[in-house]
Amino acid sequence: CGNSDQGQSVKFAKGTTTLAFKFDGGIIVSVDSRSTMGAYIASGTVKKVIEINPFLLGTMAGGAADCSFWERNLGMQCRMYELRNKKRITVAAASKLLANTMSSYRGYGLSMGTMITGWDETGPQLYYVDDDGTRLHGRYFSVGSGSTYAYGVLDTYYRPDLTVEEAIDLGKRAIYHACHRDAMSGSINNLYHVTKDGWVKIHAIDVNDMHYEFLEEKKNAMSS
């Protein structure tokens, strides 16, 4: 008792898989929907894509409350920017706002690994931002406990010249394989496609259904 546990930080037992990648046809954002605390599955229907505005999306990995609160706060900051400047905020500026917020709260024990993506006057853009205030610009990212498995699929099959159908299939397969190998990822695959006209939600598919779909595909490929 007393001050014996002073200075102890909350140890999160996190688990998720989120990914996003740019290609010639826009951006694909694909996530799972499982919320866990160690071996305990708290929910299978978490919305890990936060719709900041019609042209801007954010993903959640880490502490659900931290991601949800600060990305909604980012939505407010983006709207304030629009009202002040009479134009839509760029993806670079939105990600910088979030990175600045995270930098100001560094050392407070926040747990957040997010991707900010969307379409602005410079075209499709993708940024990674985390609770240290780190901000990276890239072609593709995956965040969460299942990200190593997702990266394996992305590194193997990603090409900038993918068709929209191929890109959707890649986003779907990367999440499926991560959910198959990572116990903390699973449930529903939510997938979004971002174009110059804004984002559109493509599907919400149970990864169990995907398992049998791909199993059948594998059997057919082996028999032919």
Pull the structure tokens for residue 26: 């826009």
Q: What are phi and psi of 135, to 5 degrees?
A: -135, 115
Pull the structure tokens for residue 64: 């659900």
Contact 113, 131 (CB under 8 A): yes
Q: Of the residues 16, 59, 90, 117, which is catalytic?
A: 16
Q: How far apart are CA 18 and CA 163, in angstroms?
A: 21
Question: Which residues does 38 contact at the CB level (< 8 Å), separation at least 6?
Answer: 13
* Active-site annotation holds for 36: no
Catalytic residue numbers? 16
